[in-house]
Structure 1
């Protein structure tokens, strides 16, 4: 039975799973959640009433939370690109960086986005200020950490890079990664050039007007 993924192309967390699927050319059916597909929304909510996406369906199994979904794919639908190393300590490093990008980068982008969605100028400004402060701290740490690395956890593309790609993509839109972070900027550029993420970015291009902070005319 073909895998099914419920989500939205412009969602960073949907993109995170899409990158993993595209890396290994894993067959799946994408079920977009939107006003034009109410049947998908009904199926999604029946399977996961907590109203979070993406959701991966594999036969009778429903798999949620992006890191768990990618680990599930690694275990049950493996391909030539191994997104987690076999060595337990190396795998721990990958999982740490996955959490770093979700918690310290993407969560801050979402905080700014949520402030903008309130429609209240003061709340928007406060949220953006907080996100800017926290993202700057993350950028500074990443600049040092990534020195000498091709990918987030070393020489191999991994789960951590699946998380980093959309997180840094939207983070730079929220608070630009300045020229004083050349290593981080180069890493973001490598992620954008990776065919799996480039495909996810292109598939979401028509939705850019939805970005409440204003999507820049680049990327």
Structure 2
């Protein structure tokens, strides 16, 4: 198989690419990166010295592709499937890219700030940075809720790369900074995402690793498969 994706099943940015792959039933292998293992880390660094995951390696093309949005665009160009995750229309494509970046930068990034602060040594906590992250999430929730009043998916009626980004962002955000009760459009959108088969597969694969998540105690029972 020519495609290998370097991942960790608990990593939200990896979920984004996995959803794209599963949406189009693209064949690929996975290589789980264990950063505590020197050999596993070295294999990743050999492909992408920055050391961030996910990274896609295409042995057929002899090419390594980092960064989630670039990976998904690469897959559409070189391994297209039935679901077009980036529209052909230039204006619509820009809208998808905008909301893809929005979910990455203004939901996923502040979530990571909150999560990593929980596992810092007590003397190294950053309460000001966490407060800023929570404020960013509050602002993002309001913008998303308003944006979704007339849309089924992130940018309209079609599932796109922006929705691939939205699921892991909102899934973990809903745990570490729950949505306010009046964000009904946002809550309904997350549920639509959770009902999608590609998303259910990603979460099922991540579930055995949830014990490693610093906010495991705050996870709703239905996220844990308890219902």
| TM-score interval, normalised by the smaller of the two chains | over 0.9
Task: Give the TM-score taking structure 2 as reference length.
Answer: 0.91
Which ranges of structure 2 fall in alignment gaps of 5 or more residues? Answer: none
Structure 1 position 44, deviation (Å): 1.2
Which ranges of structure 1 fall in alignment gaps of 5 or more residues? Answer: none
- DSSP 3-state at the match of 1:62: strand
Question: How many equivalent pairs are there?
Answer: 219
Structure 1 position 114, deviation (Å): 2.0
Work out which of the residue numbers 204, 207, 216 in structure 1 matches 2:206. 204
Deviations 1:134-162 (A, max 9, x none): 10000011110111211001000000000
User: Quick check: 31-40 or 190-199, which moved more?
Assistant: 31-40
Aligned twin of 1:44: 44
Deviations 1:184-219 (A, max 9, x none): 000001111111111101100011122223341332
Structure 2 matches for 1:175-214, cutoff 5 A?
A: 175-214=177-216
Is the contact between residue 175 and residue 220 of structure 2 (CA under 8 Å) also seen in structure 1?
no
Work out which of the residue numbers 117, 130, 133 in structure 2 matches 1:131. 133
Structure 1 position 117, deviation (Å): 2.1
Q: Which runs of 4+ in 1 moved over 3 A?
A: 35-40, 124-128
Q: Distance in 2 between matches of 1:124 and 1:210?
A: 21
- What do you get for the CA RMSD once the two structures are aligned? 1.7
Deviations 1:157-197 (A, max 9, x none): 00000000000000111100122000000000111111111
Q: Distance in 2 between matches of 1:162 and 1:71?
A: 12
Work out which of the residue numbers 56, 67, 70 in structure 1 matches 2:69. 67
Aligned twin of 2:166: 164
Task: Give the TM-score taking structure 1 as reference length.
Answer: 0.94
Aligned twin of 1:3: 3
User: Quick check: 45-54 or 115-124, which moved more?
Assistant: 115-124
